[in-house]
Structure 1
Amino acid sequence: MHPTADQVLPGTAPSDYENYLKTDALLALQPGPETWTHRDELLFTVVHQSAELWLKLAVAEVEQAITQLDRGKRLAATRSLDRVIECIDIITPPLHMLERMTPWDYQHVRTALGHGSGFDSPGFLRLRTSLPNLVAAVRRQLESDGLTLRDLYLAVEQNEEMFAIVERLVEIDEGLMKWRALHTKVIERTIGGTVEGTQGTPVEIVRNLRDKSIMDELWTVRAELTELADQTLR
């Protein structure tokens, strides 16, 4: 929109862009210098608030994919799952920005967090709650086709749409594992790997959650295929 174009949306901001996106309200959500315990509070807040927005979108797309699957609209569900994958991919690299704080600077930021912890992320909690429902929807589709995961992987050409959906689950699962792995390393780099977090949770517990899967069979089926290949192809 040209900056001199007439505004058509209601609001007091100087442009429709700002009125539609509520940028005044959005940008007021980050702490200003007058409230900082340390200037890196802005960095910390931007990384985490932006992640919450992408997680909100991810949850919406998971819920949409479930609806589409239950209606038999598998291609549409695949497009929604692609968005979930992108959301997870987007929130992962910004974690590196947290490594641009020195360990001591982060200790100053940490004093402002109270008992705030990533375990309390509403976006991640909602995503974690919604993913089992997605897995259940995928299982229903497999059952309606009379397929096990092993059957599916042995007959991909006959089941392309279902294969695409299951592989999206793999990408989502792998993306979450990568996100958790990087998050763990960021924690270790900032506060160390042998201490407790803001809620008294040992970093070791966070480390043990890195490879938690939304559907274990996504990975065990690969071992089954390898065993089958060893028996029949060699």
Structure 2
Amino acid sequence: MKRDHAPVLTGDGATDYARYMRTETLLDLQRRPEQMVHRDELLFQVVHQSTELWLKLAAAELTEATTRLTAGDPAAAEPLLARAALGIRLVTDQLEMFRYLSPVDFQAMQPALGNGSGAESPGWRRVQGASRTLGRAFADHLAEQQIDLPTLRDGNPTDPVRRLAEAMLEWDERVALWRVRHYQAAIRVGGHGAAGTEGSPANVLVRLIEHRFFPELWQLRVTTAGPAGDVTHPPAS
């Protein structure tokens, strides 16, 4: 018996797949060949547009993790952080495409970019805001449960709050690795002068590499517990 594949969803497209995924709109978001000043504009747009989608998803996962944590369920928040971190890993991996974009080709297509900058990314701004909100919610949860960070660090590895803290560190690290790779890609294609060059946007990228959303969690990595459980800095080597 032949299966009926006639679409049942409303919207544009000849199939339900096209209608649900809105492929006609999606695939029309890139500049047409006759509009391009260089064919690698397609590569450039696909990488950045897909980055915006992954950042949108990551921000949504962070927001939901905050909601779960605020409701007193850190165990439910942890896997959401893992999903967000994986999204950033995929964003980082696709920067490998820029290995196929030479400095000469990038310079040829730069007029099409206007004064655009990655710092203007709405996805990145959402991620920044969601990360800060999560950090505040985590601090509030610790205060409500009367948990101090050294105790959390030295406690049960299976404790949901500790596991969430580890997931937050993983998220922070993935973002930092993305920033490093982004900086390297920007230098490689010749869009920016190296860090230290006066007026170079790369100076901003380098500063961002050092930024952490959850510095208090990282600080625990460079401290040790004293005999009475107090936290002391390790001796200088």
Do they fold alike, i.e. is TM over 0.5? yes
| Match of residue 212 from structure 1 | 211
Deviation of 1:24 (Å): 0.3
SS in 1 for 2:14: coil
Q: 2: CA distance between counterparts of 1:61 and 1:23?
A: 24
| Match of residue 105 from structure 2 | 105
| Match of residue 27 from structure 2 | 27
Deviation of 1:90 (Å): 1.2
Q: How does 1:64-213 map to 2 (within 5 A)?
A: 64-157=64-157, 160-191=159-190, 193-194=193-194, 201-213=200-212
Q: 1: CA distance between counterparts of 2:193 and 2:12?
A: 49
Deviation of 1:166 (Å): 0.4
Q: Which whole-Å deviations, capped at 9, do the CAs of 1:53-92 have from their partners, x for residues lacking one?
A: 1111111111111111111122221122121111111111
Does the 8 Å contact 2:69/2:137 carry over to 1?
yes
Deviates further, 40-49 or 56-65:
56-65
What amino acid is the match of 1:187? A
User: Which stretches of structure 1, 4 residues or more, deviate above 4 A after TM superposition?
Assistant: 226-231
Give the superposed CA RMSD. 2.4
| Count of aligned pairs | 227
Does the 8 Å contact 1:77/1:165 carry over to 2?
yes
| Match of residue 36 from structure 1 | 36
Deviates further, 175-184 or 137-146:
137-146
What amino acid is the match of 2:180? A
Q: 1: CA distance between counterparts of 2:12 and 2:3?
A: 15
Q: How has the CA–CA distance of structure 1 residues 206 and 172 changed in structure 2, closer, same or farther, with 3 Å as cutoff?
A: same
Q: How does 1:215-226 map to 2 (within 5 A)?
A: 215-225=214-224
SS in 2 for 1:93: helix
Structure 2 gap ranges (5+): none
Does the 8 Å contact 2:41/2:109 carry over to 1?
yes
Query: Sequence identity of aligned pairs in percent?
Result: 35
Q: 2: CA distance between counterparts of 1:172 and 1:111?
A: 35
Does the 8 Å contact 1:196/1:202 carry over to 2?
no
Q: Which whole-Å deviations, capped at 9, do the CAs of 1:75-122 have from their partners, x for residues lacking one?
A: 221122121111111111111111211111011122211110000000
Deviation of 1:146 (Å): 1.4
Structure 1 gap ranges (5+): none
Deviation of 1:208 (Å): 2.4
Q: How has the CA–CA distance of structure 1 residues 230 and 122 changed in structure 2, closer, same or farther, with 3 Å as cutoff?
A: closer
TM-score by length of 2: 0.88
TM-score by length of 1: 0.89
Deviation of 1:230 (Å): 9.4
